[in-house]
Every structure is written in structure tokens, then in C-alpha cells.
Structure 1
Amino acid sequence: DGSGLPAGAFQLKHDGGGPGFIGAAPPAGHGAHRYIITVHALDVEKLDIPEDASNAFFGFNRHGHTLGRATMTVYGIVEN
């Protein structure tokens, strides 16, 4: 619900239309799935975007301020 975010922080809507993380839902018994997590270092403390911005708008505005990024790929198996 975003209640643990620092002051001034907010969540953009996910592809389902609501705020927060909805997670992946691969079918049971489907085997290994990969999850890619990326963290960006920016040259500004805050991006000046509205709370109802799309992820595409966020990405466009983030791109010009990115100093670096780190990506981690993890694998998960759904057994049931």
C-alpha cells in the first residue's frame, strides 16, 4: 500500500492499473521463471513527474538522469 515509503515518495500504477507490485503468477508446475530486478542511480534526488504518470513517462524522464544501473536476474520455480 506504500505506507512504508519515505516522505514524498509514491508508487506508479502497474500494468493491472493499480499501485504497488502485483508479482508474477506463472502456472503451477510450469518450471523455472526468471525475474529481472534493476536499480537505477540518478543524478537528481527526485524526478518531477505527477503521481498519475505512466511507466513509459517515468522511463523517459529517468533516462536522461541515469548515472548507472545494476541488474540482477533471479530464478524461481513454481511447484504447486
Structure 2
Amino acid sequence: MPDPSLARVSRRTVLTAALWVPAAATLTGCLGPSWEELPLTRLTIATGNPGGVFDRYGEALADVLERRLEGVTTRTRTT
């Protein structure tokens, strides 16, 4: 039979974890390289069936991103 003291977690422990986990995740994201430092040159967007609504949406999104992001080429792949 499992030890009942191990199954109990205090409310304080749960609240502390609920505060620290998002804070740690945020700091991890902030400590990485900035967007300008990333060597992004190619972007592939997965879309839906050929000729379907998500295929057309992906093509339009790829077109806009290629025009707006300098030095980036885009392509779409049907899924």
C-alpha cells in the first residue's frame, strides 16, 4: 500500500510551483538570442489538402511573410 504522506501535497507547494514554473519558462525565453540574431532564411509552412482552404491560407500567409521579412524565402507543403 502506498504511503499516504507521499500522496499529499500542500496547497503552498502547488501555489509556489504555479508561480515559479511560468516565471522560469519566461526567463528561459528571454535569455535566448534576439530575433535579429537568428539565421532565418527559409520558412516552410505546412498546409492542408491540395486546393483546400488551408492550402490557400498557407499560400497567402507565405506570400505575406516573404514580402514582409527581409531575406526570407517561404514555401508551402501540403499535408
Give the TM-score normalised by the residue count of structure 2. 0.21
Higher strand share: 1
**Higher RCO (C-alpha 8 Å, min separation 6):** 1
Which structure has the bigger radius of gyration? 2
Give the TM-score normalised by the residue count of structure 1. 0.20
Higher helix share: 2
